[in-house]
Amino acid sequence: MPLMDLNDMLKHAYRHRYAVGSFGIDDTLFMAGVLQAAEETRAPVVLNLIATHFAEDELESFIPLVMQAAHTATVPVAINVDHLSDGALAQRVMSMGCNGIMIDHSSLRFSENVGRTAECVKLAHQCGVTVEGELGHVPGEPVDGEGGDEQILTSAGEVKAYVERTGIDCLAVSVGNVHGHAKGSKMDLARLVRIHQAVDIPLVLHGGTGLTLEQYRKAIDNGVAKINYYTGLADAISKRIKANLAADHRAVYRDLMHGVTENVRAEAVRCIKSWRSDGRAAEVSAQCRAVGEVEYVATLAVGNTASGKPGIEPVLQEAQRSLASIPGVARVSIGASRTHAGRYCVIVTLVNETAARHFLESQRHRQVTSKLALSYATDWSDGLYVEMD
């Protein structure tokens, strides 16, 4: 099925007092276990790619596999890229189809965090992408190229201004939670209550592994609609690998990895049930928007090239490069007709309808189409074609 609009999904969870599991996945074994758990429990789920766990080329190679797996699911799925601080990388993953990003400038001063986050939100919303910001800092993840070990609790007095000035869709909070192994985390529930009272948007809890069932429930009852969870899944995998090695110290890779997906599935099922998201798939599918790619198609017929003008081929190549650089453009194809000399087709695939609207309004698109239609074409037609899988 198509991806589900992440903002819609989180708002549904927020209204109905449950939390969507945003499960960190490092490879296809993690991913398979999470999706199996979501299918078994009929729960909406977020496949969460933690940017700091990948080199850029690894992340961009993995995303198409995640997209393909998400589209084969029968439950609502969104794809989020976590802990981004590079605006250029954020634009690339959005143009690859990821429909949620977490922009992390939490280690910066308030004004700098606001400014950089707001800039990213503006771009992301043009692409129809949900944005999560962070105020305060949850330790354990490096951000902005620096270590992230210092706990900075979210200021309840600053959250309203932060949300209004950045335009974020959901807010990651620091209320005693930490990334990694942190059994017995002391959640500052009173602080969470004040934050929830100050802003009426879904809250996000990072570092979900170390919390108790009671802490989860209290967090959800006070605005938390997404819980990020990675370390518990990684521990489940490590446990199975160690057991496989103990059973056969000569085991090769395939033998060592046997059963790890099942361990991930079991742990994810436990979390989903703890966070009350089990059984929610049907209502989320019915009440939230699905998002899919949209195609812009233009055809042009070119007569004899006017005197003093270059041939059409280099102009089309430049048009392809220019259109591909517009935010929300997934790919651009331009080709010549095999049967009709001088006739060409331009196909621009955009990540969703929101991106398509901004594409049509963008100055770069207007410049390219004006140059082609007015200067070269003897015949021109264009239009948008929505394609939902």
For the annotated catalytic residues, the residue numbers are: 82
333, 316 Cβ separation under 8 angstroms: no
Cα 42 to Cα 24: distance, rounded to the nearest angstrom: 19
Q: What is the largest CA-CA distance in the chain?
A: 79
Residue 367, CA distances (Å) to 339, 370, 372, 375 in order: 29, 5, 9, 11
Residue 117, CB-side half-sphere exposure with 13 Å CA sphere: 33
Residue 280, C-beta contacts closer than 8 angstroms, at least 6 positions apart:
12, 13, 16, 18, 42, 43, 44
C-alpha angle with apex 3: 220 to 52, nearest 5 degrees?
A: 70
The amino acid that residue 80 corresponds to is N
Cα 152 to Cα 73: distance, rounded to the nearest angstrom: 38
Q: Which pairing describes strands 130-135 and 170-173: parallel, antiparallel, or unpaired?
A: parallel
Cα-to-chain-centroid distance, residue 67: 11
Residue 116, C-beta contacts closer than 8 angstroms, at least 6 positions apart:
87, 103, 105, 108
- From the CB of residue 214, how many other CB atoms can be counted at a distance below 10 Å? 9
